């Protein structure tokens, strides 16, 4: 996401009906949306945040469909990248499992009554503090790993089809319903040999709909 400071303080007044000379307005542009936030120093949290506007509503050229052509899939052209994503997926699953187990331990310790165990209060509090710090550290690592996997999946989709988040796509194959599908690319993931794409549907009027759609594209042959 890219953010840029704006100098239109009057915009803040028009949205909030409050005037602040030092108010700041920022425009935020993601891969798929545009939105504004306003804040009042010294507070860092936004005083308001507008609804997200799809980029396709602003840029007409973004409404052009890209067809998903399965004949572009060549094996083992992207085999190295696929193997790397699979390794990262396994690493992330193990990390999630560790966090889950540590969370369960933390919850059990919170239920412990000092009088019923041979464990002094100060030592228990210290152990709980260390455990929480360990959980927080692993959660940060998990979020970083998730971001890395998301970026790798975007690279995989681009290498095969030259498609990015925010693109309008059309495919006659690959939908979970077995019917032609058209959607705005919002999220991309890889699982068990398939690139999974999801996002809001595109209506017959060429408008972004409210219904979510999903598309699965097999890029790796079954090994069994």
Render each residue's pLDDT in the chain as its tens digit; 224 residues.
555 566 555 666 666 666 666 777 787 877 677 788 878 777 778 777 877 777 666 666 556 777 777 766 665 668 888 999 999 999 999 999 999 999 888 888 777 665 555 556 777 778 888 888 999 999 999 999 999 999 999 998 888 888 888 888 888 876 666 678 889 898 999 988 889 999 998 888 888 888 899 888 888 876 54
19 found inside a domain: yes
Total count of domains within the chain: 2
Q: Does 83 lie in the same domain as 11? A: no
Q: Does 214 lie in the same domain as 127? A: yes
Q: Does 74 lie in the same domain as 45? A: no
pTM score, whole prediction? 0.66
Q: Does 204 lie in the same domain as 94? A: yes
The residues near 88 (Cβ < 8 Å, ≥ 6 apart) are: 145, 148, 149, 152
Q: Does 174 lie in the same domain as 147? A: yes
64 phi/psi in degrees, rounded to 5: -80, 130
Q: Could you list the residue range(s) of the whole structural domain that residue 41 is in?
A: 2-51
> For residues 150 and 156, what is the distance between their CA atoms, to the nearest angstrom?
10
Q: Does 46 lie in the same domain as 74? A: no
58 found inside a domain: no
11 found inside a domain: yes
Which H/E stretch holds residue 89? helix 79-110
Q: Does 209 lie in the same domain as 117? A: yes
């Amino acid at each position: 996401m890219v953010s840029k400071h704006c100098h239109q303080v009057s915009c803040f007044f028009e949205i909030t009906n409050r005037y602040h000379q030092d108010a700041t307005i920022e425009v935020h542009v993601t891969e798929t949306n545009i939105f504004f936030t306003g804040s009042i120093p010294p507070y860092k949290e936004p005083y308001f945040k507008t609804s997200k506007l799809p980029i396709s509503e602003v840029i007409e050229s973004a409404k052009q469909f890209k067809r998903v052509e399965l004949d572009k899939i060549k094996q083992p052209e992207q085999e190295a990248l696929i193997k790397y994503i699979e390794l990262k997926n396994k690493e992330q699953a193990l990390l999630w499992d560790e966090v889950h187990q540590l969370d369960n331990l933390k919850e059990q310790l919170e239920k412990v009554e000092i009088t019923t165990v041979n464990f002094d209060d100060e030592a228990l509090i210290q152990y709980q503090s260390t455990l929480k710090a360990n959980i927080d550290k692993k959660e940060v690592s998990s979020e970083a790993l998730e971001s890395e996997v998301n970026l790798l999946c975007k690279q995989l989709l681009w290498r095969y089809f030259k498609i990015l988040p925010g693109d309008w796509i059309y495919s006659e194959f690959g939908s979970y319903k077995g019917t032609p599908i058209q959607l705005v690319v919002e999220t991309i993931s890889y699982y068990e040999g398939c690139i999974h794409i999801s996002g809001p549907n595109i209506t017959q009027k060429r408008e972004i709909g409210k219904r979510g759609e999903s598309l699965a594209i097999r890029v790796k042959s079954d090994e069994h």
